[in-house]
Amino acid sequence: MLKNLYEILDISRPSPDISIDSAAIKRAYRKALLQHHPDKVVTGQESEITTTLASKKDVPTIDEITLAYQTLSDTKARLDYDRELLLLQETGITHDRTGNRGVGLEVTDLDDMNYDRMRALWTRACRCGTFDGFVVTEDDLQRAIERAGGGNSHEILVGCSGCSLSLKATTAASFNPTQIFGDDVTEEKGENARLSAFVGAIAVGDLVKSTLGPKGMDKILQSASSGDIMVTNDGATILKAIALDNAAAKVLVNISKVQDDEVGDGTTSVTVLAAELLREAEKLVERKIHPQTIIEGYRIASAAALSALEETAVDNSNDSAAFRKDLLAIARTTLSSKVLSQDRDYFAKLAVDAVLRLKGSTDLTSIQIIKKAGGKLNDSYLDDGFILDKRIGVNQPKRLENANILVANTAMDTDKIKIFGARVKVESTGKLAELEKAEREKMKAKVEKIKSHGINCFVNRQLIYNWPEQLFADAGIVSIEHADFDGIERLALVTGGEIASTFDHPEAVKLGHCDLIEEVIIGEDTLIRFSGVAAGQACTVVLRGATEQLLDEAERSLHDALAVLSQTVKEPRVTLGGGCAEMVMANAVSQAAQNVAGKKAIAVDSFAVALRQLPTILADNAGLDSSDLVARLREAIYKGMRTSGLDLLTPGGGIADMRDLGVIESYKLKKAVVSSASEAAELLLRVDNIIRSAPRKRERA
């Protein structure tokens, strides 16, 4: 409990801006010693003093009297003590006085705090992560004004609701908050806005960093409305599935999505690196380094890192055997952190075979993935044709060669008069039969128009109905109805056809072609296989697995591998994984920092610290001693062994040559991670104001 030093010396507490006469403090000190020191008590006064002391709850000791004198006789120490005493009186929060004075005390201007007009208070986030940790009410401001007694400035001391930190908010006597926004608008500005951005972004990075690397963990995502669950360790999938209220957190979600769209993998890495850059930036801001200085330092560091990364890149595209080996290694590295890691060799070969069929294209539309529950993951296979998840109709040929295919997305009965439920006045039932016969003849004429186009296969997104289906069967035409939209889109693409939206002029629609249409059985389901399609690169990956959740995650994992491989075929340079590339870049950035003057050098070096966090997290997620492993890796890179990385599969971990282990990653992926993370950190460092507003209400005419 904080002692009242003024009561110990029996002197009144003056205003903060008024100094105490040192002679008066010394007299009070001597008087207190004379009154309470046992050796100074006069015999005749002993009974009187004993009675006086007994009436007091706390009798000061000689040490407390000495501390009171030393504190109050020192102007700076007295001001610090006055703040602590005021904080204790107003909030009940105090600090340990055995250490340095003022520890945990932040100072800000009340105008820089977020003013909430609805609640009539000011708020500010705390470094501990509590969003509205510091709260100043208008009553607090009024008490500060009364306490100042008409002074030129006011001081308000408050404690954080989530930790032991305290805040001193200062304001001028003429302070009057001006509200320019509406009642439904809130504003954070200055350090409060920047701290809010840091806290939100770092929280997102901490959320997904446990999924990083070959030993990363999975997350279960459950929908609050439907109760559906998803098991995944894909960073982009996790971040897209959760609702976020923090603006900075949404920025990291967006860069993760862009990374997924552009490269296909590295979504967790880019999020974690951006969060670590902001974590280091927060430390620099606390050291009073301006955000613009940090941004300039980060730009220098990013350029040095990318230059070092480019120096390590290797291009084997001129040697087909070596390039295929690189592609297999990249696929294995990508799948090592996925649910397919146990069968990564099998699926790596499957993914490489599928991507090489694209012949340099990055469009994965020609590669279809079909999921069928049952069997094991290694029962999956690559089919050379296109598989449609439908069945051929009854009484229709189950095998068709040299197919001319009409693909449509329109109902067969768009011009039919709907008789069911309608009131029709006829003279006899024969008239009604004539009406239905006319409708059938109209449908038959439509079928004849379609048949005359020279087709022998008709695939429709919508229903065909029994009567026209029978007409097609009689003509030896395979008709497939109610195909899924994605299926007909892909079918039209791979067969080289167009999708008809009307049957008025079927001859104007380009037909698709394939060598063979046949039914195939996968597990317990019957599907339709189109072989020898016009787009020769088209193929289908059939995934087998025990559960729907496993198949969904397997599809996401395989898609990531396919995307990275397709980008590598376009940009064939590769680099090394296992933390090797990050440590090489960190080493280059640290060397660049030595050539930078001023505070920017600190920011450049902080970029290197953030890069070194990625191999540290890899080791932590594997349950290894990250401090020892990263230190050994850093030493190896410093000594010139630039192909060294973390061997996480060896018991206890180790440092090994990543080229020998086949831990290879795409150069484009690594470059995108560093560039995107650096740009996101720069974007959030520029923030000094966050304004939240409800959507504008539409005015009724």
Of the candidates 268, 271, 312, 333, the residue annotated as catalytic is 268
Q: What is the DSSP string of 350-397?
A: HHHHHHHTTTT---GGGEEEEEEEBS-GGG-EEESSEEES--PPTTS-
Selected catalytic residue, list 326, 560, 605, 647? 560
Q: Give the position of tokens 């069968």.
A: 343
The catalytic residue among 82, 132, 234, 620 is 234
Cα–Cα distance, 274 to 685 (Å, whole number): 11
H or E segment at 478? strand 478-480
Instruction: Judge whether 575 counts as a catalytic residue.
Output: no
Q: Is the dihedral of CA 119, 125, 130, 136 positive or negative?
A: negative
Q: What angle do CA 364, 366, 371 make, to 5 degrees?
A: 85
DSSP helix/strand/coil, 616:
helix
- HSE-CB at 64 with a 13 A cutoff on CA atoms is 17
Percent helix, strand and coil across the chain, each rounded to 5? 50, 20, 35
* Cβ pair 608, 593 in contact under 8 A: yes
Contact 671, 273 (CB under 8 A): no
Helices marked H in 116-246 — which ranges? 138-148, 191-208, 235-241
Quickly count: other Cβ atoms within 10 Å of residue 238's Cβ: 23
Catalytic residue status for 178? no
Longest dimension (CA), the chain: 137
Q: Which of 171, 232, 267, 334 is catalytic?
A: 267
For 364, 366, 621, 665, the CA distances from 533, given in Å and listed in that order, are: 16, 11, 46, 33
171 is catalytic: no
* 51 given a catalytic annotation: no
Residues 701, 692: Cα–Cα separation, whole Å:
27
Q: Residue 287 corresponds to which amino acid?
A: R
Q: Running DSSP on this structure, what letter comes out for residue 697?
A: P
User: What is the b/e burial string over 110-142, where b = at least 16 CB atoms within 10 angstroms of the residue's CB?
Assistant: bbbbbbeeeeebbbbbbbeebbbbbbbeeebbe
Residue with tokens 């409060």: 192
8 Å CB contact between 514 and 554: no
Q: How far is the C-alpha of 528 from the C-alpha of 399, rounded, in Å?
A: 10
Active-site residue list: 234, 267-268, 560
